[in-house]
């Protein structure tokens, strides 16, 4: 009985410490991965990779529209350009700076507000349209192609 009493006495402290630990670990995690940069953009819909683009070779701006209409048997598919067709579409813009979603028919538009990404630590997702844009591959921070001595 006394054992149970002492356990309940320390339970709030232990649980608060556990929460604080998770919060601190999360902050460290965010800070550590913040400045990583990648160079290959992958556009994935329904778990299928529709396109991969190397950011280094991207010239000007590239526009793609991913259509994932559930009533369309051929979906998901990707077309070039800004073509907001039917339902469940996302328009993606890719430049040397990274990838972003510029148009979507989802309700919250969180994917658009997520902005531009060039980091493996920051994928862009559109949950309603099951679209995912990830950046992979390490890129050196200095932006030099090669170093010779």
Contact map string, positions 73 to 112, toward another protein, x by CB under 8 A:
-----------------------------------x-xx-
Exposed/middle/buried for residue 63 (C-beta within 10 Å: 0-12, 13-18, 19+): middle
What end-to-end distance do the CA atoms of the chain give, in Å? 74
Contact flag: residue 17 with another protein (CB under 8 A): no
Stretches 53-61, 78-86, 129-137, 139-147: which one binds another protein (CB under 8 A)?
129-137
Q: What is the dihedral of CA 92, 63, 122, 146, to 10 degrees?
A: 170
Binding residues among 31-70 for another protein as defined by CB under 8 A: 33, 44, 46-47
Stretches 9-17, 50-58, 81-89, 137-145: which one binds another protein (CB under 8 A)?
9-17
* Candidate residues 84, 86, 115, 137; the one interacting with another protein per rule CB under 8 A: 115
50-55 long-range contacts (CB < 8 A, ≥24 apart) are 50/76, 50/77, 50/78, 51/78, 53/94, 53/99, 55/94, 55/96, 55/98, 55/118, 55/135
Contact flag: residue 22 with another protein (CB under 8 A): yes
Task: Report the distance separating Cα 25 and Cα 124, nearest Å.
Answer: 23
- Which residue ranges make up the site for another protein (CB under 8 A)? 8, 11-12, 15-16, 19, 22-23, 25-27, 29-30, 33, 44, 46-47, 108, 110-111, 113-115, 120-123, 125-128, 130, 132, 134
């Amino acid at each position: 009985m006394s054992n149970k009493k002492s356990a309940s006495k320390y339970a709030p402290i232990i649980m608060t410490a556990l929460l604080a630990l998770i919060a601190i670990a999360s902050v460290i995690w965010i800070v550590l991965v913040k400045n990583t940069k990648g160079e290959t953009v992958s556009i994935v819909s329904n778990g299928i990779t529709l396109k991969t683009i190397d950011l280094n070779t991207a010239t000007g701006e590239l526009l793609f529209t991913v259509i994932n209409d559930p009533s369309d048997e051929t979906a998901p598919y990707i077309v070039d350009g800004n073509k907001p067709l039917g339902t469940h579409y996302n328009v993606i813009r890719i430049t040397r700076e990274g990838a972003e979603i510029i148009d979507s028919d989802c309700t919250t538009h969180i994917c658009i507000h997520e902005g531009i990404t060039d980091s493996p630590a920051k994928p862009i997702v559109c949950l309603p349209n099951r679209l995912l844009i990830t950046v992979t591959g390490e890129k050196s921070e200095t932006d030099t192609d090669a170093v010779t001595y």
